[in-house]
Each structure stands twice: as C-alpha cells, then as structure tokens.
C-alpha cells in the first residue's frame, strides 16, 4: 500500500473524475478509509470548497497528499447566450482548446440541463448538425459533471437544475464509463441527489452498450428511433446498419424489465415527406407494441445546409393523433432556444475534427441526403 506522503505523479488527478465508488477505491489504495469519499464529496459539491487546506476533517497528511497530487477543475464558460424564452446556452472551453455546449431549459416547476458527452460525435445521423462537426474525443467524467457544476453555479440558487438529459453533443453510450460515473454523481445524495427518473440518457441505439447499461446503471432511457424500417433507419441513423431495429427493440424490452411501470421514451424527429406518413405512424404503433413506451415527436430543427424540412403542423398532429388513439402517450417536443441555436440537433461547439469526416462526406445540400 502506498503511503499518503508518497506522491505518484505531480498534480495528476482531477478528483471530479471519480464517482463515490471510484473515490472510495482511490482512498483505499492510499491506505485511507473508504468513508473519506463521502467527506470529500461533501466538501466539493455541498460546501463548494476547493482548497484542500480547508477540508478540516481530513488528516493533515492526507491534505498534503491531495494538494501535491490532485486538483479540482471544471471546464470554463466562455460564451453565454440567453434566448427570448429563457433558455440558456453555454459554450464551455475544454483543456484541449475545443468547445462543447450545454443548454438549460427552464419550465414551470422544473429546470432541465442538456449535457454533452463527447466533443463532436462519431456517428453520422444525416439530420443532426453535431454530426457535421466530426469527432474529437470523449469528454472526461470531470468535464461531464463539470457542466452541471458550472451551470448550477451560474444559475444561482433561485434556478435549480431538477433534471438532466444526456442529449447534448455526442453519443453518450460510446463514452460509457465516463458517462455512467457522471450520472452516478448526479444521483448521489452527497452531490446533486437527482432521482433516477430525472436523469435520462439518450442513445441512437448502441445495442451492446444498452445491454451493459441495463446491468449497471438504473436511469431513464430515451432512444432516438426516427424510422420504423431498417431501410430508412440505415439512412437516417447509420449505426442501424450495425445494430438493426430488431436488436434495438430487444435491448429496449430488456431495459424496460428493470423496474415495474418503467417506460422508454422514443424520440422521433419529424421530417417532411421522409418519415411522417400515416403508414409510418402505423409502423411505429406495431413496432412499439411489445415495449412500454412514450413517444416524443421532435419537429426537425434546421441548420445551415441541412437537406431536410420539418413536417407541417398538420402532418405532426395527424401523426400524434394516430399514436394517441392507439394508446401510446405521445407528446410533441416544444422547440426551445431556437433564436440561439440551442434546440435539438443544433449544438455545434467548436470541434477540431480528428475523424477526417469532412473528407469522407459530401457537403450536405449538394444532393438530397435521403
């Protein structure tokens, strides 16, 4: 066992990278008791103390060790935009110089924070502007929970973050460990204490990771479905070529079994003339028969050079009525923060693309992407 006075690497460890279990293991490795984890979480998240010297219930030698080897750092807000409807969008600078975006959506009685999981996105959903940015890297746990910390600080005690949705930039299930640790922190009684119903992870359908999630982390699940045939979904959400609708629905059924009365939210972007017909609605009803589901219809939010149009109000209402009549709770997502490009699929940040995607993809708009 290492002595607490024996530094490992200078200033190597960001303590925000650990959830409670991770912190306990870290302390045990230092020859400390696991309850130090709770003490440290209280200092950081409840007392908002970052200076180790002030953490008076830790021994002097442990404080010295932490000072020499650890730090506490969040990404920094570099731009704040406030929409006319009160939605706020922040651009956060990461240590590597890229920027990710976080959005706060105030509603009657609740405040939802939309959190990013990656710098850019490695998937290539044709209707999403984050996809056009390419991909740089996964965010660390500290950078994910850091979005909640800086947002809550900025909002002040009057505006509480009551819900978190992992629906910002990136595919959260392709950054599994860091996202799960950050969600554990959001739900920890010594940090933000959000209930599992108020933390939602949204996935485009990374099926093996969905199975893993079901085993290790009980949070609400949203699935970006958008199409009811493999043929169309292969095109709109290309990860479908790897994991078909059949496999996706199986993973959903398995997740729904975790808890009684659990429902899965299916997100369905409304694209004019692409996926909004009566036949599509009927296909959706049939597909979701075996899964306890809610549907969230998302009016398509355009972005520069996007190749789609949003379905008409009439088409959206017709679609919604068909689903409701079939007994599926269906809501239409209110578009929020449109005037600051904070709506679904409009988050772009500043991404130095390492995937060289732009070399592989034809410019959108040069032909119809569908």
The answer to whether 341 contacts ligand SAH (rule: CB under 6 A) is: no
Q: Residue 158, SS3?
A: coil
Q: Among the candidate windows 14-22, 147-155, 200-208, 322-330, which touches ligand SAH by CB under 6 A?
A: 200-208
Residue whose pair of structure tokens reads 């969230």 in the numeric block: 296
Left (φ > 0), alpha (ψ -120 to 50) or beta: where does 92 sit?
beta
Rounded distance between C-alpha atoms, residue 45 and residue 84, angstroms: 31
Residue of 101, 143, 235, 267 with catalytic role: 101
| Interaction of residue 220 with ligand SAH, rule CB under 6 A | no
CA-to-CA distance for 32 and 28, rounded, in angstroms? Answer: 5
Q: Which residue bears the tokens 């059949």?
A: 246
Pick from 301, 311, 330, 350 the residue near ligand SAH by CB under 6 A.
Answer: 301
Q: How far is the CB of 79 from ligand SAH (least distance, A)?
A: 20
Active site residue 101: yes
* One residue of 102, 132, 141, 203 binding ligand SAH per CB under 6 A: 203
Told to check if 298 binds ligand SAH by CB under 6 A, we report: yes
- The total of other beta-carbon atoms located within 10 Å of residue 85's CB is 16
Applying CB under 6 A, the span of 2-10, 15-23, 298-306, 324-332 interacting with ligand SAH comes to: 298-306
Complex with ligand SAH: residue 4 or 173, whichever CB lies closer: 173
| CB-based contacts of 240, cutoff 8 Å, min separation 6 | 205, 227, 230, 233, 234, 248
Q: Which of 14/118 has CB closer to ligand SAH?
A: 118
User: Of 41-49, 66-74, 201-209, 247-255, which part binds ligand SAH (CB under 6 A)?
Assistant: 201-209
Do 159 and 106 touch, CB atoms closer than 8 A? yes
Count of CB atoms within 10 A of residue 278's CB? Answer: 11
CB 76, min distance to ligand SAH, A:
23
Whole-angstrom distance, CA of residue 105 vs CA of residue 185: 21
**Nearer CB in complex with ligand SAH: 44/287:** 287
Residues 115-174 touching ligand SAH, rule: CB under 6 A, are 125, 127-128, 167, 171
Using CA atoms, how far apart are residues 294 and 312, in angstroms rounded to an integer?
A: 22
State yes or no: residue 266 binds ligand SAH (CB under 6 A).
no
Structure tokens at 257: 């079994």
Nearest-approach distance from CB 349 to ligand SAH, in angstroms: 13
Contacts of 148 (CB under 8 A, 6+ apart): 113, 115, 161, 164, 186, 192
Taking the complex as a whole, the smallest distance from the CB of residue 64 to ligand SAH amounts, in Å, to 42
Among 194, 269, 342, 369, binds ligand SAH (CB under 6 A): 269
Torsions phi, psi for 267 (to 5 deg): -90, 140
Binding test (CB under 6 A) with ligand SAH, winner from 27, 43, 300, 319 = 300
Nearer to ligand SAH, 135 or 300 (CB): 300
267 binds ligand SAH (CB under 6 A): yes
- Residue nearest to ligand SAH according to CB distances in the complex: 345
Q: How far is the CB of 269 from ligand SAH (least distance, A)?
A: 4
Site size for ligand SAH (CB under 6 A)? 16
Q: Residues 6 or more apart from 114 whose CB is under 8 A from it?
A: 102, 103, 104, 105, 165, 167, 168
Query: Is position 96 annotated as part of the catalytic site?
Result: no
- Angle between the N-to-C axes of helices 176-187 and 141-155, in degrees from 0 to 180, rounded to the nearest 10: 40
CB of 225 to ligand SAH, least distance (A): 8
Q: Which residues are catalytic?
A: 101, 344
Enumerate binding residues for ligand SAH (CB under 6 A): 125, 127-128, 167, 171, 202-204, 224, 267, 269, 298, 300-301, 344-345
């Amino acid at each position: 066992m290492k002595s607490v006075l024996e530094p490992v690497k200078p200033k190597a460890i960001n303590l925000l990278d650990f959830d409670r279990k991770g912190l306990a293991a870290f302390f045990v490795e230092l020859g400390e008791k696991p309850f130090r984890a709770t003490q440290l979480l209280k200092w950081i998240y409840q007392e908002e103390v970052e200076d180790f010297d002030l953490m008076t219930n830790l021994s002097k030698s442990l404080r010295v060790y932490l000072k020499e080897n650890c730090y506490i750092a969040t990404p920094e807000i570099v731009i704040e935009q406030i929409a006319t409807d009160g939605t706020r969008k922040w651009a956060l600078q990461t240590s590597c110089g890229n920027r990710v975006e976080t959005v706060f959506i105030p509603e009657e009685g609740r405040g939802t924070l939309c959190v990013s999981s990656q710098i850019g996105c490695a998937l290539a959903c044709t209707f999403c502007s984050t996809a056009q940015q390419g991909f740089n890297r996964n965010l660390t746990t500290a950078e994910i929970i850091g979005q909640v910390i800086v947002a809550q600080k900025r909002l002040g005690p009057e505006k509480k973050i009551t819900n978190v949705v992992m629906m910002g930039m990136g595919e959260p299930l392709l950054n599994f460990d860091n996202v799960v640790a950050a969600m554990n922190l959001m739900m920890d009684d010594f940090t933000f204490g959000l209930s599992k119903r108020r933390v939602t992870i949204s996935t485009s359908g990374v099926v093996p990771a969905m199975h893993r999630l079901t085993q290790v982390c009980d949070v609400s699940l949203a699935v970006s479905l958008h199409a009811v045939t493999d043929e169309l979904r292969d095109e709109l959400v290309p990860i479908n070529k790897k994991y078909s609708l059949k496999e996706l629905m199986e993973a959903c059924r398995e997740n729904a079994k975790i808890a009684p009365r659990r429902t899965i939210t299916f997100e369905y972007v409304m694209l004019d003339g692409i996926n909004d017909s009566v036949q599509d609605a009927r296909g959706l009803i049939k597909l979701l028969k075996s899964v306890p589901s809610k549907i969230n219809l998302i009016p398509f939010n355009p972005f520069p050079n996007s190749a789609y149009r949003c379905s008409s109000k009439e088409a959206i209402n017709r679609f919604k009525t068909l689903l409701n009549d079939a007994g599926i709770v269906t809501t239409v997502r209110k578009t929020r923060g449109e005037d600051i490009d904070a709506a679904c699929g409009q988050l772009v940040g500043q991404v130095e693309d390492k995937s060289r995607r732009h070399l592989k993809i034809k410019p959108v708009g040069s032909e119809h992407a569908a």
